[in-house]
Amino acid sequence: MSVSWFGGEPLLAYHKIIEILDFIHENVIQNGRPNFVSEMTTNGYLLTIERFKTLVERGVKFYQITFDGDEDKHDKLRIKSDGTPTFSRIFQNIINAHNTDLEFEIMIRIHVNAENASSIQSLLIKLSKFLASDKRFRIFLRPLSRLGGKNDDILPILSDERIIQKLNNVAKNLGLYIAEKQNTWNEVCYASRLNSFIIRADGRISKCTVALYDERNLVGKLNRDGTITLDTKKIYWWSRGLFSGNKETLACPLRV
């Protein structure tokens, strides 16, 4: 059994997460089905060391935390609703995790664009002072991309993606570990899998974490009594690649 937490920001519902994890341990793991893994995509701001330890103890051992450049660049893009910066607290939460002997993996995702590329090296140097040679941390440098949003035309897209390779080399030379590059077109998307579902905040059930406003992505509902209602025709549409064997459909059923 695998459970992934994402949002929005999942840690805004931290106590609900703990409640669900405790339920899983009491009703699934302790009843003879011990294989449980859990991951979380979080901005890291609310991931205090106390919460981190509690989550790891309950099986949430894989994390993705994102920076948008070094402190100056990050804090121009990733501020709180009241305008206060977030970089220093996120950074400190990562260092606090490093200072434990817990078993976990944190992928530090760094968005690279035409405006922040020059600041990435200083961020890597700052991270290496603490995380060099710590295999629990991996660096993932990701160029900013256009995904169909209303602001696509004004995004400062990186024109020379060789910069990513150069920065990866910088990270390696600093003793940081690089996340393995994934070729998603050679994989089976989670949305293609018959046993993969997304439970949204209001109880609706979906298959894809990207097409949140697509009617095809509403495949059921989690009812108040704990039962679920599923639209089997829609589920078949998402999983049709399993029956056709088409690799592109398996890699992304929404695009094909």
pLDDT of residue 255: 85
What are 1-23's pLDDT values in tens digits?
899 999 889 999 999 999 999 99
Considering the domain architecture, whether residues 109 and 224 belong to the same structural domain is answered as no
Residue 77 lies in a domain: yes
Considering the domain architecture, whether residues 15 and 44 belong to the same structural domain is answered as yes
Considering the domain architecture, whether residues 154 and 236 belong to the same structural domain is answered as no
Q: What angle do CA 220, 201, 37 make, to 5 degrees?
A: 85
Residue 256 lies in a domain: no
Nearest to 222 by CA among 197, 187, 246: 197
Contact 123, 73 (CB under 8 A): no
Q: Residue 37: what are its φ and ψ, rounded to 5°?
A: -130, 150
- Structural domain count of the chain: 2
Q: For the whole prediction, is pTM greater than 0.75?
A: yes
Q: What angle do CA 75, 109, 3 make, to 5 degrees?
A: 115
Nearest to 67 by CA among 157, 149, 144: 144
Q: Label the pairing between strands 228-230 and 220-222.
A: antiparallel
Q: Domain range spanning residue 219?
A: 187-251
Question: Where does a domain end: 153, 181, 209?
Answer: 181
Q: What angle do CA 10, 141, 86 make, to 5 degrees?
A: 45
Residue 45 lies in a domain: yes
Considering the domain architecture, whether residues 34 and 152 belong to the same structural domain is answered as yes
3-state class of 121 per DSSP?
helix
3-state class of 180 per DSSP?
coil
Considering the domain architecture, whether residues 7 and 115 belong to the same structural domain is answered as yes
Considering the domain architecture, whether residues 65 and 166 belong to the same structural domain is answered as yes
pLDDT of residue 126: 97
Question: Where does a domain end: 181, 197, 224?
Answer: 181
Residue 228 lies in a domain: yes
What are 196-225's pLDDT values in tens digits?
999 999 999 999 998 999 999 999 999 999
pLDDT of residue 161: 72
What are 141-194's pLDDT values in tens digits?
987 654 555 555 545 556 567 888 999 999 999 999 999 865 444 589 999 999
What are 53-104's pLDDT values in tens digits?
999 999 999 999 999 889 998 898 787 878 789 999 999 999 999 999 999 9
pLDDT of residue 182: 54
